[in-house]
A and B are shown apart, each in its own frame.
Chain A
Amino acid sequence: MTTQRNPAHTDEEPDTAKAQAAAPGSRQPVPETEHSEQGAWNGYVVPSGEHPATGRGSSAGEAWPHSRPVGPPADSHPALRRVVERRSSEGHAAATAATTETAGPDPEVVTDTATAVDTENTGRQKGREADTAEQAEAAGETHGAAKPARGSHRRHAAPAQTAADGADPDDPDRLADWVGSLAEDDGRTMIAARRTVFEPADGPAATTRENEEYRPTTREFWQPMPETTREELIARLDSLATIVSIGRDDFDPEVIERARHVLNHAGARLRLSGEHTVVALAGGTGSGKSSLFNALCGLDFSRVGITRPTTSAAHACVWGNEGADNLLEWLGVPRRNRHSRTSELDKDGSELSGLILLDLPDHDSVQALHTSEADRLIGSVDLLVWVLDPQKYADAAVHHRYLAEMPGYEAVTVAVLNQVDRVEPEELEELLTDLRRLLETESGVQTHVLTTSTVTGQGVSGLRELLIETVGERRALIDRLVADLDSVVDGFERYHGADDVEPRVPDDVRQRLVDDLLEAGGAPAIADTAETAHEQRGSRRVGWPVARWVRKLRRDPLRVARMDFLRDSGDKTSIGPIEAQEAEIERIAAEVADRTAGSLPSPWPRRVRAAARTSTPDLPGELGNVIAGTVPNPEDTPSWWQTVRIVQYLLVAFTGVGLAWLGTLAVSWLGGGLTGIGMFDDPVLIGFAAAIVVATPAVGWLTDVGCRNLVSVAAAQRREQVELKSTERVRAMAEERIIVPVEQELQRYREFSRALAAAQARDA
């Protein structure tokens, strides 16, 4: 069943405005000729007609009664005003209150033909009250129109409509930036119908006589939201966008999704008219949303029905048309359900100018479509007025599904207990206490509670005052988005550690990393090998050859084991690239990550690890090459080796010559001068030759010892050189391939922390 559509208020809004202008304050008599068509029942079989074949149909008049709009009794105003607690608007509120009060008793009476028509529905006994109400309402209208200052905001209304419109003074480039950056992720501009709903509440408590008695309670828990300017909000949203881009892949996808949703939603809403405040009446079927809507509009816009559920699509009533169309389009209110109260002559509108009042479909009927539509709009509006009634106020459908899911929305939520005419005044108190208790215990929401009755008109003016105030402040929009933001941002808190992390890998970790990499790449071993090889090679060159020859004559275990080949291979020691074990590199990288970021909350250690391991597959080969490159060419031997070698062999030769000479001398001398050559016969020379034979090996041996020492020193130098060079190169490599990615990730964490703090407005 769709809501009755009013032909007078469909597409030709200017006409409507004119019609209203012609009769200010008058109610449009609505021809009830059109019966709404039967909507589809989700999940249920639909009765074929409104008046089913049971033959028990009823007359149209009975089926579609009008609820008559009623204003509040004028005398309730002073009481109302005292409860106003919005500190930010203290002065303004007082002013408004004062003027309203004086305007209240204004005896200007509107002769209303519709009243007579409506009486059949509301009962004759209520007629008197209704009249009073109308007077009050009319008075309010008159007063509102007389305040020209109110109209000034209309100046701003036009430019705020589209993002493309660069003239919008409130939309800095940044907004376009982050909205644009997210647009590619997710093209939706509309809020999705989610179960988690947001609810706005704002404005001061304007209450009725009954409610005044509860004022202490209200005072106790009423906490106005800290002021947030539009710029601050945008800055915070920016930060949220940063968070989303940082954590896109690693944070809980649900939280990310919600954040994106809030960003899109807030971006879309901020681009639309900031001069309008969208207020929605939400509630279960039969709570009297439509009646209240009509009462607030002063016209029968929304159909009020007997059978349930009645309203299936949202109705909107706009005070101050300019710029509202795009907003309504965005809200998805069908054109035929939009009603306008704007007109220069319609005095009623000016106080509320900038208000878009929505009558939502129910959220608890069998019509799943209604529920999803209501959910969608509840997620989009600026201020949410929950319309409860004495029968349904304790329903789980309201408390558990909506209110409990929306902590932090107190500032933009108002609870209205409607239909208070149905309970005895003495029972009302008990009822209100119970409602407050329920709101607190079941929903954890502390919000304003008003009471209204559309039948007696009681409390409607209070609600109206609240709306006037809300609209006047133009803050509900921001407050609502701030509440959205808060609810999402808290979800990221768990990714933020208690203590701050330096975005630099500590020195000891770096040192350890280099050591580990060197060890993994076998650098110490290679340095050892280089030293040994050099030493061996050197000692072979500069050693005393005779000693070597003697050693060879010894009994050799290798020969016994037939492993002679081992000896031959000795000189061929060469060192090629040896890579490194990948598992080891992986472990080393992970250790760096753990030591640096181990204390961070959940996804970060993993992220830092991943960053540290980015180049693990290439590292082993690279490491091997780097280290191998530090080993000097083994063929590259010092030239003095050759000299010493020649000297050594010369010495050996001398020894040989000396020996030969000695032998010859001895034989020749003993033989009495056999050779006849003085050199061989002179016994004196025997001593000389013997000296040569003794001295040359001694010199050779000494040279051996001395040069070996030199070789050892050179080998140790080589080793040091290898160690130094490889340390240096590995350090550079580690810096580039492991430290830098890790530090980038740490930097990202800091960015996240900063963005989170900014989004939470912690430092503010």
Chain B
Amino acid sequence: MPRPPAMPEVTGTGEQAPRDEASQEPARKRKGAKHRGTATDTRFEKVLEELRTRIRDLTFAEGLPGASEGISARTDVLHQLEDYVLPRVRRPDTPLLIAVAGSTGAGKSTLVNSLVGEQVTTTGVRRPTTNSPVLACNPADVDWFSEASFLPTLPRVRQQGLAMPGKDGMLVLAASDAMPEGVALLDTPDVDSAVSAHHEFAAKFLDAADLWVFVTTSRRYADARVWEFLQVARDRDTSLAVVLSRVPRRGRRQLLGHFSAMLQANGLGNAARFAIPETDQITGERFRPNVADHIRDYLADVASDLAQRDRVSRRTFIGVVDSFRTRVPELAKQVEVQVEVGRTLETAVSEAYNAAVASIGASVQDGSLLRGNLLARWQDIAASGELVRTMRMRGKRKARTVEEDAASRVRALEQAVLDSLESLVLATAERAAEQVVDHWETIPGAGELVERSGGRRPSAALAARIRETMAEWQRQVGEMIAADGTTKRSVARSVTFDKEAFALVLIIDLLGYGAVETTAARGAGPPPQRLLKGLFSADSLRNIGAAAQNDLRRRINVLLDEERARFTDTLAAVALPRETDAVQLYQATYNLEIAR
């Protein structure tokens, strides 16, 4: 598609930009520039549709890095696609939409009234004056603008008779015979007042317009905000006319010169420029004829000449489609940022909990649990011979006192085992949670996620859950010990013993008694291994030991996974974009490039 020339043909106050030869190239048909035959057209449309779907389906996790940028970029591109690009691809005969935008108090509404030739919008001294945009067009075109294909998301009302202030946020459609057919003039809210809703509004309309008439004043032309918009216009290569209003008589030439130089320096040198003097020649909410006539002439010129009109709209259209080349990848970049953030968050969780699993796995068999109370209890029961007293010859009864005494000691050991395991798992889970939270808190905006996931403390019920699980495990070990065939036959024939107590002996052994005893003199008492060997066959001991250890690890993993789920569920609940989203966006951009 040949690039239409920059829009040079109009002069402001006496300045004449050079005409580009290429602009003389006749348009293929009215408004036809955007498409080249039906086949390509549908393909182009399809590609655009696909791009829109991709963008629409994007999700961003709010509050996390990249989200606000991503969302605004998404909204931007999506709106422009839906409001501007797609309607124009589908309907080549769209009327030319001229948006009058600019600073508050620049006289946009007055200008629109003057251009239309009758009062369609309200003016005033209050800032900002215009709360709802007014669209003026020929009665023949009103239907088109009332259709949903134009700015589908915007509610609109038709204006009857003279100007009336519309409801905020509604587009007012004002039909006027003074407007030529095929051209619509839009009075937009300001871009810089304290009402931020206006800015979004204005930006939305500018995105949908074929031609921008940007109005600023002699006071404001150096405002940062004004240039933000002008730079967007430049970057998108929009057809643009700039109006400097309220130019005082004194210093007019200097002002215009300075402004022109600024435009020139910012790459907008060939935009059409106009000046409106600071004037009291306002009657009936519009300028006297001579003040804004040059602008009117210019617009009339654009409107009446099909070729010209086509060129204007085509330039903007191509500029917009071109801008997708950078805007969509930028959007994709934000998607990548979010994906990266998501990955970081996930990694933090998995790292912390994997480390927790590993450290517990080591702790439960290297004997580090055999300290303090647990060790003391073991010594108490083993070294004192109480354990032995639980054994007796078959058919003999022991004194009840001895029995009770031994049983209470066994119970104490059992509690000690539970306590140790509970402390270990709880402390590890706590540490893991803290690690995750610490890590998450380094990411801006993830504080809320921390909150949602329940904070740095493990869940309240965890301690009870651990205890329950560990008690179950002990029972399991006891059952394994008690199973038939584990006890040596020679022993089983003549001796009975407390299975529960010996399950504890096995547990002590599993917790790494051997590993510790070699390193430190841990008081006296027989090693549990020897005790067990006396009663059980080596084979079954090995089997039971391995099974019990695996069982313990499995149970602890389940517990930690439940804890981990707090974080992973929170992550899953925030709608982070998928990794493939970015790729698909790039792909869609590429397709667009191909289809052009």
Residues of chain A having any CB pair with chain B under 8 Å: 41, 44-54, 56-58, 62-63, 65, 121, 284-287, 306-309, 364-368, 371, 389-400, 423-424, 427, 430-431, 434, 438, 442-443, 519-526, 528-529, 532-533, 536, 555, 557-558, 560-563, 565-567, 569-570, 572-576, 578-584, 586-587, 590, 606, 620, 623-624
In this complex, what residue of A is CB-closest to B409?
Answer: A528
Taking CB atoms and an 8 Å cut-off, the chain B residues in 231-269 that contact chain A are: 246, 248, 250-251, 253-258, 260-262, 264-267
In this complex, what residue of B is CB-closest to A561?
Answer: B534
Chain A nearest CB: distance from B470 CB in Å? 14
Set of chain A residues within 8 Å of B266, measured between Cβ atoms = 44-45
Set of chain B residues within 8 Å of A54, measured between Cβ atoms = 15, 257, 260-261, 264
Set of chain B residues within 8 Å of A563, measured between Cβ atoms = 388, 530-531, 534-535
Set of chain B residues within 8 Å of A526, measured between Cβ atoms = 376, 379-380
* A431-B531 in contact (CB<8A): no
* A306-B265 in contact (CB<8A): no
Chain B nearest CB: distance from A447 CB in Å? 15
Set of chain B residues within 8 Å of A50, measured between Cβ atoms = 254, 258
* B379-A573 in contact (CB<8A): yes
B375 within 8 A of A: yes
* A58-B257 in contact (CB<8A): yes
Set of chain A residues within 8 Å of B267, measured between Cβ atoms = 45
* A569-B525 in contact (CB<8A): yes
Set of chain A residues within 8 Å of B27, measured between Cβ atoms = none
* A307-B375 in contact (CB<8A): no
- Among A48, A392, A398, A623, the one with the most B-chain Cβ atoms within 10 Å of its Cβ is A392
B491 within 8 A of A: yes
* A575-B523 in contact (CB<8A): yes
* A365-B531 in contact (CB<8A): no
In this complex, what residue of A is CB-closest to B427?
Answer: A583
Chain A nearest CB: distance from B445 CB in Å? 14
Set of chain B residues within 8 Å of A389, measured between Cβ atoms = 219
* B524-A366 in contact (CB<8A): no
* B379-A529 in contact (CB<8A): yes
Chain A nearest CB: distance from B203 CB in Å? 13
Extra inter-chain contacts (13) besides given A45-B266, A364-B223, A578-B375, CB under 8 Å: A52-B260, A54-B261, A284-B219, A286-B220, A394-B128, A399-B194, A434-B126, A438-B194, A442-B194, A532-B386, A560-B393, A560-B491, A561-B495
**A57–B535 alpha-carbon span in the complex (Å):** 111
Q: Could you list 21 A-B pairs, sorted by A, with CB under 8 Å?
A: A41-B265, A52-B261, A308-B223, A308-B258, A390-B127, A392-B219, A394-B104, A394-B127, A396-B195, A397-B223, A430-B126, A519-B373, A520-B372, A557-B393, A563-B535, A566-B385, A573-B383, A573-B525, A578-B522, A581-B423, A583-B423
Set of chain B residues within 8 Å of A522, measured between Cβ atoms = 372-377, 416
**A294–B63 alpha-carbon span in the complex (Å):** 48
Set of chain A residues within 8 Å of B373, measured between Cβ atoms = 519-522, 524-525, 580-581, 584
From A364, A572, A578, B524 is in contact (CB under 8 Å) with A572
Set of chain B residues within 8 Å of A525, measured between Cβ atoms = 373, 376-377, 379-380, 412, 416
Set of chain A residues within 8 Å of B519, measured between Cβ atoms = none
**A248–B496 alpha-carbon span in the complex (Å):** 66
Chain A nearest CB: distance from B256 CB in Å? 6
* B127-A285 in contact (CB<8A): no
Set of chain A residues within 8 Å of B393, measured between Cβ atoms = 555, 557, 560
Chain A nearest CB: distance from B375 CB in Å? 5
- Among B220, B377, B530, the one with the most A-chain Cβ atoms within 10 Å of its Cβ is B220
**A523–B376 alpha-carbon span in the complex (Å):** 8
B225 within 8 A of A: yes
* B372-A584 in contact (CB<8A): yes
B152 within 8 A of A: no
In this complex, what residue of B is CB-closest to A584?
Answer: B423
In this complex, what residue of A is CB-closest to B456?
Answer: A606
Taking CB atoms and an 8 Å cut-off, the chain B residues in 353-371 that contact chain A are: 368-369, 371
From A306, A424, A561, A580, B251 is in contact (CB under 8 Å) with A306
Set of chain B residues within 8 Å of A572, measured between Cβ atoms = 383, 524
Q: 4 smallest A-B Cβ distances: which pairs?
A: A522-B376, A47-B261, A286-B219, A580-B372
Chain A nearest CB: distance from B401 CB in Å? 12
**A567–B393 alpha-carbon span in the complex (Å):** 16
From B225, B424, B531, A566 is in contact (CB under 8 Å) with B531
**A505–B212 alpha-carbon span in the complex (Å):** 72
Question: Given the interface contacts A520-B372, A525-B377, A586-B427, does A57 sit within 8 Å of B254 by beta carbon?
Answer: yes
B543 within 8 A of A: no
Set of chain A residues within 8 Å of B222, measured between Cβ atoms = 285, 307-309, 365-367
Set of chain A residues within 8 Å of B495, measured between Cβ atoms = 557, 560-561
* B260-A578 in contact (CB<8A): no
B391 within 8 A of A: yes
Chain A nearest CB: distance from B526 CB in Å? 6
Set of chain B residues within 8 Å of A306, measured between Cβ atoms = 218, 248, 250-251, 254-255
B227 within 8 A of A: yes
Set of chain A residues within 8 Å of B192, measured between Cβ atoms = 395-397
**A392–B483 alpha-carbon span in the complex (Å):** 90
Chain B nearest CB: distance from A111 CB in Å? 26
* A569-B383 in contact (CB<8A): yes
Question: Given the interface contacts A65-B251, A307-B255, does A529 sit within 8 Å of B223 by beta carbon?
Answer: no
**A746–B423 alpha-carbon span in the complex (Å):** 26
From A392, A443, A562, A574, B105 is in contact (CB under 8 Å) with A392
* A565-B530 in contact (CB<8A): yes
Set of chain A residues within 8 Å of B199, measured between Cβ atoms = 396
* B372-A579 in contact (CB<8A): yes
Beta-carbon contacts of B93-123 to A below 8 Å, as 1s and 0s?
0000000000011000000000000000000
From A400, A430, A529, B384 is in contact (CB under 8 Å) with A529
**A562–B536 alpha-carbon span in the complex (Å):** 12
In this complex, what residue of A is CB-closest to B227?
Answer: A366
Question: Given the interface contacts A52-B264, A57-B257, does A583 sit within 8 Å of B227 by beta carbon?
Answer: no
**A567–B488 alpha-carbon span in the complex (Å):** 21
Beta-carbon contacts of B405-428 to A below 8 Å, as 1s and 0s?
000010010001001100110111
B196 within 8 A of A: yes
Question: Given the interface contacts A63-B254, A308-B219, A570-B384, does A578 sit within 8 Å of B127 by beta carbon?
Answer: no
* A583-B219 in contact (CB<8A): no
**A624–B193 alpha-carbon span in the complex (Å):** 72
Taking CB atoms and an 8 Å cut-off, the chain B residues in 442-468 that contact chain A are: 456
**A573–B199 alpha-carbon span in the complex (Å):** 86
**A58–B491 alpha-carbon span in the complex (Å):** 119
Set of chain A residues within 8 Å of B526, measured between Cβ atoms = 565-566, 569
In this complex, what residue of B is CB-closest to A398?
Answer: B194
Question: Given the interface contacts A44-B265, A54-B257, A569-B525, does A364 sit within 8 Å of B225 by beta carbon?
Answer: yes
Set of chain A residues within 8 Å of B522, measured between Cβ atoms = 576, 578
* A557-B391 in contact (CB<8A): yes
Question: Given the interface contacts A62-B251, A576-B522, does A396 sit within 8 Å of B196 by beta carbon?
Answer: yes
**A624–B371 alpha-carbon span in the complex (Å):** 9
**A430–B123 alpha-carbon span in the complex (Å):** 14
* B412-A557 in contact (CB<8A): no
* B379-A560 in contact (CB<8A): no
Set of chain B residues within 8 Å of A584, measured between Cβ atoms = 372-373, 419-420, 423, 427
Chain B nearest CB: distance from A285 CB in Å? 6
Question: Given the interface contacts A575-B523, A584-B419, does A391 sit within 8 Å of B217 by beta carbon?
Answer: yes
